[in-house]
Structure 1
Amino acid sequence: MSTIVNCEWLHERLNDDPENMVVVDVRFYLNDAEAGRKAYLKDHIPNAVYLDLEKDLSDKPQKHGGKHPLPDMETFVAKLGNIGINNDTDVVIYDQSNDMFAARLWWLLDYVGHEKIFLLDGGYDEWVNQGYEVSDEIPTLTSSKKFIPDFQKYTVADIEEVKEKMETGAATLIDSRARARYLGKTEPLYIKAGHIPGAKNFFWKDVLDDRGKWKSPAELEDNFSALSKDDEIIVSCGSGVSACPNILALRTAGYKNVKLYPGSFSDWISYPENKVTKGEE
């Protein structure tokens, strides 16, 4: 079935078959690191657990590696078991709406080899708008499980691979940020503006329709029609988070050879010798 599920599907599963399902709330706000957790504590989908972008889904930034480097994988895998996820558990992830953070957890779960991952279309806003029950009760985690990882290392590209494949033309690099940031007209987060030379701009929010819902596979295929399905595609953004919706969308549209550059632009500019381009490619 599709990775994208609706509120009715989740509501039925929670009523009929809740035992082998974990619902994860990943609400987060880049301008207020505690706001997502506070929102979860106020109310959430019943029995949902909370994972934090910067405490659970990322490691602390270093000199190189970007603003949101991948978490230590041994720790991440242990956390999965601690919140009740093993290899057979259905995992449903939701954000405030269809934001980038749910896709970040989807990508991490896919990277460690989990197969039963779902995103709630419309996120928490849609759940509330449809009148489904919410709760402020924090679930008690009494029975941890063990998740056995099967790392999909071919889905990650580091900076050296990006450089090599951009020089040889062996891959297409996507920049998932808003167009004004890609063009270098504005940069709210980093000391340099522009993009990695050769990158093509596919704003991640373009995978959503006018209502903010996920586009259909056919619509996503049209969104990426300028890209060849025979090519390797490396997806970047600012720090490896908003790239993840594009990766999910590309996979949904039938692209097989898709990688994440986790450090993305924030890693690229941490090396003074790396050039940055402004304007159209």
Structure 2
Amino acid sequence: MTNLISVERLKKRLENNQDNTVIVDTRFKLDDEDAGRKLYLESHLPGAVYLDLNRDLSGKILKHGGSHPLPDFPNFIEKLGNIGIDEDTTVVIYDEGNDMFAARLWWLLDALGHDKVYILEGGYARWVEEGNEVTDAIPSLKPKKFTATFDEDKIVDMQTVREKLDTDAVLIDSRAKNRYLGDYEPLYSKAGHIPGAKNYPWQAVLSADGKWLKGEELQQHFSDLDKNDEIIVSCGSGVSACVNIIALKAAGYENVRLYPGSFSDWISYDENEIEIGED
């Protein structure tokens, strides 16, 4: 997958003092919103800056829009510039392991047209496992001017999803199967899934040893999907869906869009139906 960078490759990049690289720590826990920032302050990769899912990678929660709505893009673009990112900067993102929060930032940057963005394979955990240095030093940042425009074609809203239910478009639900089926729902007031959605849990694009699927394994994973289909990817709030989007694009699927509000937005409309169990 061209969207990944190995620990060894990043280490060599840092050793060669390639100063047009910004490393971003995105560690986060949904059940403890301060945990990621605390982990960063304790130790992080040398030179890394921290972006928080709630404070930085999401916008204000309203009645509709889901529990992690997209950020206000003019403010987000300015924030990226303030931490040293512009359109020519190489951005390396890491999570605790191969987790969903790095994928969220990757997707946001991709939607802004940035094409030099990589996720660290194995994340912080693998960096440490391989004996590399970490630090608690907060880097000094050199602000830049990031000129970018959000590509609205990367997303669909609730009304579009509703209209697509009776078409050939494929709606993917990226949550764990028990949440998709409605057997378990720890976060929302309603359980189940959007009618017609197919379940492709985001963690299934990772192998048993925690690496991203590649090549034939990745092709096989999505083999029931036609590459000519329009694919809309959702989850609970538009975060873990980004993992599936990265994997789909790596597998050669081009007509892929995100439903940012996902299930948490869908259920905010009382008139929307919900399915329980298998189709």
TM-score (norm 1): 0.98
Deviations 1:55-107 (A, max 9, x none): 00001211000000000000110011000011010000000000000000000
Amino acid at match of 1:8: E
Letter in 1 for 2:271: E
Matches of 2:99 and 2:93, distance apart in 1: 11
Q: Write out per-residue CA displacement over residues 200-241 of structure 1, whole angstroms, 9 at most, x where no aligned residue.
A: 000000000010111113211111111000000000000000
Moved more, 8-17 or 265-274: 8-17
Give the partner amino acid of 2:164.
K
Indicate the residue corresponding to 2:149 in structure 1. Answer: 150
Q: Which residue of structure 1 aligns with residue 183 of structure 2?
A: 185
Matched, 1:46 2:64: no
Question: Deviation at 1:18?
Answer: 2.4
| SS in structure 1 of the partner of residue 118 of structure 2 | strand
Does the 8 Å CA contact 2:73/2:150 hold for their aligned counterparts? no
**In structure 2, what is the Cα distance between the partners aligned to 1:76 and 1:171?**
31
- Per-residue deviation, 1:39: 0.2
What residue in structure 1 maps to residue 251 of structure 2?
Answer: 253
SS of 1:55's partner is coil
Partner of 1:171: 169
State whether residues 66 and 265 of structure 2, in contact with CA within 8 Å, keep that contact through their aligned partners in structure 1.
yes
User: How many angstroms does 1:118 deviate by?
Assistant: 0.2
Find the partner of 1:270 among 268, 271, 276. Answer: 268
Residues 1:138 and 2:138 are matched in the alignment: yes
Q: Which moved more, 1:208-217 or 1:260-269?
A: 208-217
Q: How many residues align?
A: 279
Per-residue Cα deviation, 1:95-132 (whole angstroms, up to 9, x for no partner) = 00000000000000001110100000100000000000
Residues 122 and 211 of structure 2 are in contact (CA less than 8 Å); yes or no, is this contact kept in structure 1?
Answer: yes
Equivalent AA in structure 1 for residue 245 of structure 2: I
| In 1: Cα distance, 2:257 partner to 2:64 partner | 19
One-letter amino acid of the structure 1 residue matched with residue 201 of structure 2: F
User: SS in structure 2 opposite 1:227?
Assistant: coil
Q: Report the more deviating stretch, 210-219 or 239-248.
A: 210-219
Mapped partners of 1:112, 1:146: distance in 2:
14
Percent identity over the alignment is: 60
- What's the Cα RMSD here? 0.9
Report what 2:30 is aligned to: 30
Q: Deviations over 1:116-159 (max 9, x none)?
A: 00000100000000000101000012x21011113222110111
Equivalent residues of 2:181, 2:277 under 8 A apart: yes
Tell me the residue number matched to 1:160.
Answer: 159
Partner deviation per Cα, 1:160-184 (whole Å, 9 max, x = no partner): 11111112x1410000000000001
Where in structure 2 are there 5+ consecutive unaligned residues? none
Amino acid of the structure 1 residue aligned with 2:204:
D
Counterparts of 1:206 and 1:214 in 2: how far apart (Å)? 9
Equivalent residue of 2:165, what SS? helix
Match of 1:107 in 2: 107
Pairwise mapping of residues 194-273 of structure 1 onto structure 2 (< 5 A)?
194-273=192-271
- What is aligned with 2:6? 6
CA distance in 2, matches of 1:50, 1:28: 10
SS in 2 for 1:234: strand
Distance (Å, rounded) in 2 between the aligned partners of 1:6 and 1:92: 10
**TM-score, normalised on structure 2?**
0.98
Q: Which SS does the other structure have where 1:93 is aligned?
A: strand
Distance 2:266 2:133 in 1: 44
Whole-Å separation in 1 of the counterparts to 2:54 and 2:217: 32
Residues in 2 aligned to 1:18 and 1:105: alpha-carbon distance in whole angstroms: 22
SS of corresponding position for 1:221: helix
